[in-house]
Structures are given as structure tokens and as C-alpha cells.
């Protein structure tokens, strides 16, 4: 079984850079052909933003129909831009050694630079207190907090994230500080809610990369962030291959490149591969 994991496609969101390849079922089609199963790990479409909801839902439905025609199993995980009751909060692969979740539940400070940040943090903390101490409970709490952003007119009326951050230099500092701590927050989240997970595959921060983080007790976890198709636009994919007979599981992280009018996987890179025995 070959599973391809993507995040933060943001279908329905306008492209901030003129002339760059748009995000649509047609341009994403080559990626669907690269695996037996494709996991959309949160923020697949902007279904909560009032201005982009209709287009986001339409494009997501078209993508699901395309996957069905290609015989590809499409799995949706909830993110802070697409809070849906029908979406999963996470999945586990390799008998729990790989945790796949969007990442907006990793800390109370989900989006420290948005106008509704304070209210979101309070709702998150309150929901965590009444939810079960599980991955699902934490993500459900984060989803409650995410809905606060979309009920705040200041958040909805702001321009794109790129302009909103650029217009206020203090937000740049908030983003950089958050980026720096995010991998460690991910490792601590796994230590608390999924202690058997050696790998955490996430998105949310829009910063692609792979980090080996030591948590309390000396256990190390790999944090694999697949980045985003929107700003700053360095999308990656994680490919998980589970061998027949349970002999082992391999993970590989590859860049996603634009080629012939579509998005496709870059050439194989041994530097970004791991194996679970």
C-alpha cells in the first residue's frame, strides 16, 4: 500500500502570485496517480472562509470525483480552514508508529498573529479541559477554536495572509518565532497523545521541513511537515509504503514541482527517506 500525504492545498483561495500555476483538480491530477491512497492532511479547501467557501467546496467535490474515477482512495483530515464533522482528526499508520494530523492542535497558540488569536486560545483551552485526553479530543478542541477565527469579522475582512503579515512587521516576528517552536510543539504533542509515534506528519505552519526532536526521556521523533501550496509555496509530499506481509514501512519526503501544467513529485531523494522495521 502506497500512501501519499499532502496538506494545505487551500482550494478556493486566490493565487497571490500572478502567473503561477493554480490549484485545481486538473493541476493536482498527476499527484493522484502516484499512490493507491491520498491523504489530504487538513486545509485542503477553504470551506470556512465566507468569501471562498463555495468555490472551495466545489473544487473539493471535483477532486474527490476525479480520485474515484482513477481508483484512488481519498482521505480527508480536518484542518483549521476546513473544519468538517465528516473529516477525520488524524490517522495512524505502521501500527501507530506514524501519526498523521494537520497540526493546528499542537499548542494553544494556533495562529498567534491573527486578530482573533486571544479568543481562539481561550476557546481551545476550555475545550481541551472538557474533551478526552486523546489526539481526537485535542483536534476537536482545536476545531472549536478555529471556528472562532471565521466568526470574527476582522479575520474574514483581512487580505491574504501574505499581505496581512507584510502590512504589520510585528506579525513577521510572531511568525518566525512560531515557526521556530512548531516542530518541538509537534514532538510534545505526540509524546502526550501518541507516545508510540516515531514520526509525525503534519502541515499547518506552511513551513516544509524535517526535524529530529528529542523529547522528555530521550525519545526522538521525526517531525515531517509537508508545507503548503499557498504562501510561502514550498509544497512537499510524504510517501508511506507499507510492504506486503508487514516486513517494514518506508517513508520518503519529496518536493512537489510544477511540470507540464500540473503538480508532480520531484525525482527521488535518498537524503529524505526513513525506514521502520
* Alpha helices by DSSP H, the chain: 25-32, 53-70, 117-130, 135-150, 153-157, 161-166, 169-193
Residue 277 confidence (pLDDT): 77
Given the DSSP bridges, would you call strands 73-77 and 262-265 parallel, antiparallel or unpaired? Answer: unpaired
Residue 16 confidence (pLDDT): 64
Residue 99 confidence (pLDDT): 98
Structural domains present in the chain = 2-104+184-276 (3.60.21.10)
Residue 161 confidence (pLDDT): 55
Q: What is the mean pLDDT of each run of 10 residues along the chain (277 residues)?
A: 96 76 93 95 92 92 97 96 92 96 93 87 95 97 93 63 55 82 96 96 96 87 95 89 81 93 85 86
Which residues in 72-90 are b (16+ Cβ under 10 Å) and which e?
Answer: bebbbbbbbbbbbeebbbb
Residue 52 confidence (pLDDT): 87
Amino acid at each position: 500500500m502506497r500512501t501519499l500525504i499532502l496538506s494545505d492545498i487551500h482550494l478556493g483561495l486566490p493565487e497571490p502570485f500572478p502567473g503561477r500555476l493554480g490549484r485545481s483538480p486538473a493541476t493536482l491530477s498527476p499527484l493522484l496517480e502516484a499512490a493507491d491512497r491520498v491523504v489530504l492532511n487538513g486545509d485542503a479547501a477553504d470551506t470556512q472562509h465566507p468569501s471562498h467557501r463555495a468555490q472551495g467546496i466545489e473544487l473539493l467535490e471535483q477532486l474527490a470525483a476525479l480520485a474515484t474515477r482513477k481508483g484512488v482512495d481519498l482521505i480527508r483530515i480536518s484542518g483549521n480552514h476546513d473544519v468538517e464533522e465528516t473529516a477525520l482528526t488524524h490517522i495512524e499508520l505502521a501500527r501507530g508508529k506514524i501519526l498523521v494530523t494537520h497540526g493546528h492542535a499542537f499548542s494553544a497558540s494556533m495562529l498567534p498573529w491573527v486578530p482573533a488569536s486571544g479568543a481562539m486560545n481561550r476557546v481551545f483551552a476550555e475545550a481541551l479541559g472538557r474533551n478526552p485526553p486523546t489526539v481526537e479530543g485535542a483536534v476537536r478542541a482545536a476545531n472549536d477554536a478555529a471556528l472562532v477565527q471565521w466568526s470574527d469579522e476582522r479575520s474574514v475582512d483581512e487580505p491574504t495572509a501574505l499581505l496581512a503579515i507584510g502590512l504589520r512587521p510585528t506579525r513577521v516576528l510572531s511568525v518566525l518565532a512560531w515557526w521556530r517552536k512548531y516542530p518541538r510543539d509537534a514532538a510534545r504533542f505526540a509524546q502526550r497523545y501518541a507516545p508510540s509515534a516515531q514520526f509525525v506528519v503534519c502541515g499547518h505552519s506552511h513551513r516544509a521541513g524535517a526535524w529530529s526532536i528529542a523529547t522528555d526521556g530521550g525519545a526522538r521523533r521525526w517531525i515531517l511537515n509537508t508545507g503548503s501550496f499557498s504562501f510561502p509555496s514550498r509544497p512537499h509530499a510524504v510517501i508511506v509504503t507499507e510492504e506486503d506481509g508487514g516486513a517494514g514501512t518506508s517513508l520518503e519526503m519529496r518536493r512537489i514541482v510544477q511540470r507540464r501544467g500540473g503538480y508532480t513529485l520531484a525525482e527521488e531523494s535518498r537524503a529524505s527517506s526513513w525506514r521502520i522495521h
